[in-house]
Chain A
Amino acid sequence: MAVTWVRKDLLGLEELSAEEIGLILETADSFKEISQRPIKKVPTLRGKTVVLFFFEPSTRTRTSFELAAKRMSADLVNIQTSASSLTKGETLKDTAKNIEAMKVDIIVMRHSSAGAPHLLAKAVSPSIINAGDDSHEHPTQGLLDLFTIKEHKKKIAGLNVSIIGDIAHSRVARSNIWGLTKLGAKVTICGPATLIPPDIERLGVKVTYDVKEAIEGADVINLLRIQLERQGQNLFPSLREYAIKFGLDSEKMKFAKKDVLIMHPGPINRGVEITPEVADGPYSVILEQVTNGIAVRMAVLYLVSGVRERKH
């Protein structure tokens, strides 16, 4: 593949070309083996400083980035805060400029406001990696989903992928839609009408409210988490009704293809969007996604740090 990585930041999959996505996946493939070794460490990022700047609680993504950085020998700092602590006076930009002044190389950032990483990418020189900006994008999740699909299906183009759940509030849905459609998959989204955002068909996806239709013929089913705090907003009457209508259980699995992959970005709500027997069943690759997350994040850290290197 002739493409080289030239981006300082990774903000989303929207702006990436299919070739750039392919490059990340290939790079991740070469890094995956490191985590299988008894000594899980390479010197690739020795002397680099990575800051994990998280404004929202996160276990999976933060730990995954932390391990990815550590396995490549980067130095790592964790800053965990809430967006509200910044309203006390210091703006997000000022905080980031202080971090920049400490001469760090990469800032991995999660924030509860869409576009916050984009604001910092313009304001400071370290690479910004978006680890989730509200309902906008979560590019490394999208990439690790692509990576996992490709490992099993050997391709992305032509696959039928259904994303079921709260599409409206999901950064995972958006990053998946961008990545999958760029690589040629056919994407169907499904969920309660209140959780399907307007005009989403214009992103090149098919919309259905009928979960059976979304399951039948799907090569991959990606289930999204129903955030419990969405209850009481009149977006759906109850979790019970959601589980009955959209939750993936063994009954609904009867419509699925025999070699379907069941995915979920986690954390899963057992009994809501997925029943235990499906989550733990033979089609589920949910934990493989977690494993692959480290390889994908190693690849991203490596690629953006290479760009900084060349600029110096």
Chain B
Amino acid sequence: MDILLKDGHIVDPANRLDSTSDILIRDEKIAKVGKNLRVNGAKTVDCKGKYVLPGLIDMHVHFRQPGREDEETLLTGSRAALKGGFTSVLCMANTNPPIDNQGVVEYIYAESKRIGLINLYTVGAVTKNLDGKELTEVGQILAAGARALSDDGKSIMNAELMRRALEYTKMFALPIISHCEDLNLSKDGVINEGFVSTKLGLKGIPRTSEIAMVMRDIELAELTGGRVHIAHVTTREAVELIGQAKGKAINLTCETCPHYFTLTEEAVLGFDTNAKVNPPLRTKEDVEAIKKGLSEGTIDVIATDHAPHSEEEKDVEFDSAAFGMIGLETALSLAFSELVAKGILNWKQLVERMSISPAKILGLDNKGSLGAGSDADVVVFDPKINWVVDVKKLESKSKNTPFIGKRLDGIVTLAIVGGKIKYENGKFH
């Protein structure tokens, strides 16, 4: 059935549209955009007062399948994604077994197709078993459909190996997503090194652990001509380095996450393990620099680093608690309230960071756009509804978010994937 979205505020920077209009969806594609569209027999959705956006793309999620299906599955992760307005996601490789060979990549795509909720893509690991020692069969993994390579969760400490990986992947025109952490500097650390770690007597992770590796990867990108995408940037210095490097002819992109533009290390006071995340929450100055980086475009992408963890991994001593927080269901509301409503990004820029840029980086040619002929991945966002983050209402199987109890602005009311309504007002289809 055709779907007609009436009178929504369409934000489609790819087609220079930022105004009220209608969208007609036919089969799997956007058929037409214009005012006063009329189609017989179409399912019509009144979008008055709401924003209509290209489906968001989260290029950094951990869905824990295979291996830790008690924490998240491809199904529950997909539902959380839809509820948060993400019609496409990119899964990281640190599952058990890891996504480090063609077989596991094929398994992920087969499962995702069976579930049929969102466009689920996966990375392949850079090194076998994410050990940082030996390259995976990159060509086979990419042939099976992986959209990038990453050992995320683990840092590739061997600079020579990173160099070869970047050189080798030049043949495939896909990025290596780099988790930048000098493991010698961060050893045993659990939160940002600074006043809060001093106060709480917790071992700190110095900011240099990130900065030094970002610096290294920029140099390696320059040396090799390979493509580097820096994951979860948190420090002012890393933003500056990336900004400077972008002035040169280097294939470099980067992302940050909602918690890095909304929270500081102070969220850990009281030993809240839900605020324990790697890289760690930093300082107020860093949060300001991240916002500036987003606003100026130095930071290309907002991704969630959605990292579900079970209660038994989180409700324990701070030192023993797992790193990471879930983020799919809160990301758009946080970006809306903290960035758009406060004038740091306009809607067009937000769509660039959360849809257009990830589509470009991952080579998803027909996504990130609402132009006729594009994939019909569309979300509708109502900015007037506010809601409270409630453990009982989260779709994600894990509940580890520091935003529990927080009131957020704006909610996704409709998500269309490949021309089909998959989520509408709290219900999945």
Which residues of A pack against B, CB within 8 Å?
14, 83, 87, 91-93, 111-116, 118-119, 133-137, 171, 174, 197-200, 202-203
Interface presence of B385 (CB below 8 A): no
User: Inside 8 A of B318's CB, which chain A residues have their CB?
Assistant: 113-116, 119
Name B195's closest neighbour in chain A (CB-CB). A199
User: Inside 8 A of B193's CB, which chain A residues have their CB?
Assistant: 198
Most-contacted residue by chain B among A83, A135, A200, A203 (CB, 10 A): A135
In the complex, the answer to whether A198 meets B197 with C-beta atoms within 8 Å is yes
User: Inside 8 A of A114's CB, which chain B residues have their CB?
Assistant: 200-202, 271, 318-319
User: Inside 8 A of A137's CB, which chain B residues have their CB?
Assistant: 201
Interface presence of B317 (CB below 8 A): yes
Partner of B198, one of A112, A171, A199: A199
Partner of A198, one of B195, B271, B317: B195
Interface presence of B386 (CB below 8 A): no
In the complex, the answer to whether B199 meets A203 with C-beta atoms within 8 Å is yes
User: Inside 8 A of B204's CB, which chain A residues have their CB?
Assistant: 197-198
Known: A93-B316, A114-B319, A197-B197. 19 other contacts (CB 8 A): A83-B317, A92-B316, A93-B315, A112-B319, A113-B320, A114-B318, A118-B270, A119-B271, A119-B315, A119-B316, A135-B202, A136-B201, A136-B202, A198-B193, A198-B194, A198-B197, A199-B194, A199-B195, A199-B198
Interface presence of B312 (CB below 8 A): yes
Name A135's closest neighbour in chain B (CB-CB). B201
Q: Tell me the complex Cα distance, A202–B198, Å.
A: 10
Partner of B319, one of A14, A91, A113, A199: A113
User: Inside 8 A of B200's CB, which chain A residues have their CB?
Assistant: 114-115, 136
Q: Tell me the complex Cα distance, A14–B158, Å.
A: 43
In the complex, the answer to whether B199 meets A111 with C-beta atoms within 8 Å is no
Residues B283-336 near A (CB distance < 8 A):
312, 315-320
Against A, the Cβ 8 Å flags (1 = close, 0 = not) of B255-271 are: 00000000000000011
Q: Tell me the complex Cα distance, A269–B316, Å.
A: 34
In the complex, the answer to whether B194 meets A115 with C-beta atoms within 8 Å is no
Q: Tell me the complex Cα distance, A114–B190, Å.
A: 11
User: Inside 8 A of A93's CB, which chain B residues have their CB?
Assistant: 315-316
Q: Tell me the complex Cα distance, A200–B200, Å.
A: 11
Q: Tell me the complex Cα distance, A136–B190, Å.
A: 14
Q: Tell me the complex Cα distance, A87–B313, Å.
A: 11
Most-contacted residue by chain A among B194, B315, B318 (CB, 10 A): B318
A-B CB contact pairs (8 Å), 29 listed: A91-B312, A91-B315, A92-B316, A92-B317, A93-B315, A93-B316, A111-B317, A112-B319, A113-B317, A113-B319, A114-B271, A115-B200, A115-B317, A115-B318, A116-B317, A118-B271, A119-B271, A134-B201, A135-B201, A135-B202, A136-B202, A137-B201, A174-B199, A197-B198, A197-B204, A198-B193, A199-B195, A199-B198, A203-B199
